[in-house]
Amino acid sequence: MSSKERTPLRFKAIYGSGEWNGAVTSTARSLFLNYFLVTIVSLDITSVGRILFVGRIWDAINDPLVGFVSDRFHSPWGRRRPLMLAAALPLGISFVMLWWRPGNLEGSGLVLYFLIVSIVLDTMLTLFSVPHTALLAELTDDYNARINYTVWRNVFFLLGALLVGVTFKLMAENFFGSMGEQSNVLRGYMITGWLFGGSLIVAPLLIVAVVRENPGLRKPTERNPLYLFRQAFSNQPFRNLSAAYFLAFSGLEILVVTFVWFLNITLGVSAPWDSVMIGVLLTAALFSLPLVNGLVRRWGKKRSYIYVSVAWCVFMPFLAIFPGGNLPALVIFLAGMGVLYGAGITIPWTMLPDIMEYDELQTGTRSEGLFTAYLAFFRKLGSAVVTLMVNFVLGRAGFEEGTFATSIAQPETVHLAMRLLIGVVPALLVLGSIHFIRKYPITRKYHEELKRQLRGKREGNIGLSQT
């Protein structure tokens, strides 16, 4: 698609709707799965940490594999769309199974069940999300248009995250879990899983029906995965971006993984107000996107990333000392934090497509799926490490499992650990990410030069330049 074409709003919205799947799965798992398995199902907190760690590590590993396949897949429908279509139904079913507790399983059998389901869900999500994200670099080569597409993706991501964050726990525990003559919280989570799992099938079908791939782009050469690994990490802008993203996302993920427990245990915010607070955070993130779009267009992607990161490092430590019992002040604080969160998850993904032109100029091929997969790899690796670390620290602090609908109180050591985890560690990680992003070279001006050199190279007028 030419960068000068005016893309219909419907097309952008349908492409962006693919982020609904990532939003539903990642938000439900990050915000509630740890809580569900420990507090509702009563699994040991360290065992749950291992389940989520192994699942996320596999999820991280399979991203480059799917990226490799996606770049080289051949069919009459293109490289990306058949994979997205194949993932649709299994993705919905495996999400449902994640919120179902088989009544005949206990102990290690129950741990194995949730581990297998997590691995299947992660595989299907990757099979959809890597080709979907890789399509962005093929839809347009325009610097600002890519910002626009990414904003649309994040609109759907934050809409999905907002709906899941506000309603998932509320529906499972206070609506479906309380229906009938006898309350049953496990039934509530299962029904809620069915509702959201069914929604995961819709976006792949719409995208496959409407979005067409660009057949004119140069395909990657047939190389083995080890060569491709070296190719990806010989790309200096990608090394900078991936290192920064790994640190920053790990910091954001600590906030998400511990947020429900932090609200319930440390700040004393109980249902339904905990869901309201999650809604405040994610609503602010959603409404920050026009602001982020304007910020990036005015200051560029790199400078905007640095400004947002500095603000996050100043803002977050206050959460470590935030007093309990003051809901109005918490609403204001979470609204400000939500703006920074929305910017933090948007800006790095606006930077990734620009690396494709840099890579094509260096290698003569395009590997959108490869770079998309490796950036997703770092996101999921960060999530795996964070979940294992959080559960280990809380377990060592004396965290009590199976406390739903009981009067069991967590010890003071858990409160202290929670405050340090959510207020201090994320700020330090984001601060570290600034070091790497400062060396990221692709500005708006540099990207225009990359495109100029590529046009000349394709036409045979100029040679390879190392600008």
User: What is the predicted pLDDT for the residue at 305?
Assistant: 93
Spatial neighbors of 64 by CB under 8 A, at least 6 apart, are: 225, 228, 229, 370, 373, 374, 377
DSSP string of 378-407, one letter each residue: HHHHHHHHHHHHHHHHHHHTTPPP--TTS-
Q: What is the CA radius of gyration of the chain?
A: 22
Sites in the chain below the pLDDT cut of 70? 1-7, 143, 180-182, 214-228, 460-467
- Following CA atoms 190, 16, 215, 348 in sequence, which dihedral angle do they give, to the nearest 10 degrees? -100
pLDDT at 464: 39
pLDDT of residue 406: 81
Q: So what's the pLDDT on residue 86?
A: 93
Is the overall model pTM greater than 0.75, yes or no? yes
Distance CA 259, CA 333 (A): 14
Which pLDDT score, from 0 to 100, does residue 328 have? 92
- Helix intervals (H) in 105-218: 107-139, 143-170, 185-199, 202-210
- Each residue of 195-209: pLDDT tens digit? 999 999 999 999 988
Backbone φ and ψ of 325, nearest 5°:
85, 10
Per the CB < 8 A criterion, the answer to whether 118 and 383 are in contact is no
Structure tokens at 84: 């997205």
pLDDT of residue 356: 84
Instruction: State residue 463's pLDDT score.
Output: 42
Let me know: does 378 contact 323? Beta carbons within 8 Å.
Answer: no
* Secondary structure tally for the chain: helices H, strands E: 19, 0
Cα gap 102→187, rounded to integer Å: 11
Q: CA 275, CA 339: separation in Å to the nearest integer?
A: 18
| pLDDT for the residue numbered 254 | 92
Using an 8 Å Cβ cutoff, are 96 and 28 in contact?
A: no
pLDDT tens per residue, range 19-34 = 999 999 989 998 999 9
Confidence (pLDDT) at 245? 92
Structure tokens at 374: 């490796």
